[in-house]
Amino acid sequence: MAATAPTSPAPPEPRRLSPGRLGLLLGGILAVLFVYAVRSGSTGLHDWDTTWQGVSSLLGFGDPLPGSLQTIVELRLFRALVALGVGAALALSGGLLQGVFRNDLASPSIIGVSAGAALGASLAILVIGGYGPQFFLEEFAGVAPLFVSAAAFLFALGTVWLVTRLATTGGRISVPTLLLTGIALNAIISGLLAAIQSLVLQDYEVARAIISWTFGTLDDRTGYHVALIWTGVALSASVIPFVSVELDLFAGGEDDARSLGVHTQRTKNLALLSAALAAGVAVAVAGQIAFLGLTVPHLLRMLVGRGHRALLPLCLLGGPTFLLGADLAQRWLLGTGALQPGVVMSLIGGPFFLFLLVRNRAKIQAW
Amino acid sequence: MTDAPDMPPPTDSPRTTDARAPHEATTEATTVAPTEVLRGAGLSHSYAGEVKAVDGVDIELPPGELLVVIGPNGAGKSTLLKILAGLVTPEAGTIELGGRPLASLDPRSRARSLAVVPQSLRAIPEVTVRHFVLGGRYGHLDKWRRHGAVDDLAVDRALAEADVSDVGHRLLTQISGGQRQRVLIARSLAQQAATLLVDEPTNSLDPEHQIAVFSLIRRLVDKGRSALVVTHDMNLASQFAGAIALMAEGRIVASGAAGQVLRPEVLGPVYGDHLRYGTWPAPGGEGTRPYVVPWLE
């Protein structure tokens, strides 16, 4: 028997599609969707040269387009780039959470992480809007977007910690308790968000900024949002090599993984921190977009199997494809700006969640 | 069933590369870590401050020993096994493996020396048997967690040794309980650990599979490993164990050869009166071994 260089691990289960091929396919679809997203809209950019000139100018090469065309190109480019980043972040967050909790129904929106991030962002906007101590206003007004993002991340992290803590008994995470805790946290945070919105209802600017988080929006994004979301995605994705095989071994339970040599606490910490960061920055730049983190990893798992070494990187392609595709489809069907992406995702993801519940009824009854 | 070769010199560090000569890969895939004494002293543990599950236990598993721990429900057998495996931190006491405190070993090097065969899994992963057994190689992977030829060889060998090569391509969810138990043992063999801790391996198996599982464990011990097996089955313990430890209320109340422990005056105070005792020729035909059956009169 000859020894060879390290090889890819044997597939964990008979695959329907190879991860490499699916990655290429998703990459191709994503490229087409991205170009279409930049070029389509109520004001058509009818030729390639115009679009390219606008992009070149944004990158510091060449003159800007005349009139409002340059602004239109930039807004569309930023919107598309933010959509890619948000899709990647939410899908990765869902993939990580489902791996840690060993449950396909876990996702940032269902266990309350997205809501926690939205609460953090809303409180930060409230503070910057003049409702907090003067100290905060003086210190953070200049770095308002960063402050909002940091608050979203910290609250997302706090929610992950709280939900994990409440769902753990005797060192084990109870999945029913986890999901019920998520329901309770979502309800509590919804109430708090409603209270905050009521408080600032007369203050148009602050109220508008806060309410936009609730719907989840990709409108009026800037280069800052692009930089923020992609930094978050890069940082979160950097843990993939260090948790993928470990999360595969979590499938038989934490004790089993530990007996095989997995540093389970470190794996959980890394994965949950990364999931919270990804969900936090996604909410910070685009508000709450529910169910994407549930749907995408699940669909990918159906295509390539349960191995996280393939699943997590594919989330980085599958999430953007799903979000951008759904956004473009609804704009094409209903006209530009008809629905916010958060609303679209709820309309798609909600029924999908119900489908999963019905499909897994026997398994769920055994929890 | 494949026979294990003579044990080559032990390796005590994980492989850092697979770019090596074929004979080196084969050697590495078949090398079992050196057998070391597993010793627990003064072990005590209670759950949520309630009655002590394990209460001042001293236990030693020497190299080449098959030690079977028996005892009624709630005696603390499984908790003791988890403590010895490092999965539960005891409230008191120390555990040493080869003279080193178990807690000082990092999880991956511990997994290369000490393998746990659980009674069952919390969830049965929807993966192929082969991929599941590959999980036993985790402690041997490089820092990028890549599998290589050495790992494939070790998995092939573990599947053959546990007599489950024929189901390697099937999903773990689609094989029988007896096969699954042997797959769990195969995964522990892929770890190439010298010490096995086996928790109730014959629960819900038919008699033929019970004997097959214990025969496999006995064979592994005869080839140089040591094993601590927790079970309710005193008759399997009688046939296969080198020594038996009887636990009751968190303590080891008797230990020794089967003939010393499986006696009315030892078992009676622990299990009560509904046991009948006899002897039967030992496997291999040398002498007799005691048997014990529950019988209501």
ipTM of the complex: 0.85
Contact A278, A236 (CB under 8 A): yes
Paired strand residues for B54: B45
Q: How many CA atoms within 13 Å lie on the side-chain side of B257?
A: 5
B27 or A250: which leads in pLDDT: A250
pLDDT at residue B109, as a whole number: 92
Instruction: Kindly list the residues from chain B whose CB atom is less than 8 angstroms away from the CB atom of residue A2.
Output: 22, 25, 149
Residue A22 φ/ψ, nearest 5 degrees:
-65, -40
pLDDT at A7 over 70: no
Considering only alpha carbons, which residue of chain B is nearest residue A253?
Answer: B122
Task: Tell me the torsion sign for CA atoms A334, A337, A338, A340.
Answer: positive
pLDDT at residue B7, as a whole number: 37
Residue A137 to residues A117, A128, A134, A170: CA-CA distances in angstroms?
A: 20, 5, 5, 44
Q: Which of A187, A189, A315 is nearest to A244 (CA)?
A: A315
Hey, what are A30's tokens? 């994503």
- CB–CB contact B25 A7 (8 Å): no
Helices A264-286 and A223-237, packing angle to 10 deg: 170
Residue B223 to residues A308, B111, B118, B216: CA-CA distances in angstroms?
A: 36, 20, 22, 11
Helices A204-215 and A341-359, packing angle to 10 deg: 30
pLDDT at residue A43, as a whole number: 62
Considering only alpha carbons, which residue of chain A is nearest residue B46?
Answer: A170
Total number of residues shown for chain A: 367
CATH superfamily of this structure's domain A92-354? ABC transporter involved in vitamin B12 uptake, BtuC (1.10.3470.10)
In order along its 297 residues, chain B shows pLDDT tens digits of 334 343 333 344 444 444 445 555 556 666 666 678 999 999 999 987 677 899 999 999 999 999 999 999 999 999 999 999 999 999 999 999 988 999 999 999 999 999 999 988 877 888 899 999 999 999 999 888 888 899 999 999 999 988 899 999 999 989 988 889 899 999 999 999 999 999 999 987 889 889 999 999 999 999 889 999 999 999 999 999 999 999 999 999 999 999 999 999 999 999 998 999 999 988 777 788 999 999 987
Cβ neighbours of residue B273 under 8 Å, at least 6 residues apart? none
pLDDT at residue A254, as a whole number: 87
Grouping H, G, I as helix, E, B as strand and the rest as coil, residue A281 is helix
* Domains, in order of start, for chain B: 34-294 (3.40.50.300)
Q: How far is B143 from chain A (nearest CA, A)?
A: 9
pLDDT at A253 over 60: yes
Q: How far is A170 from chain B (nearest CA, A)?
A: 8
Total number of residues shown for chain B: 297
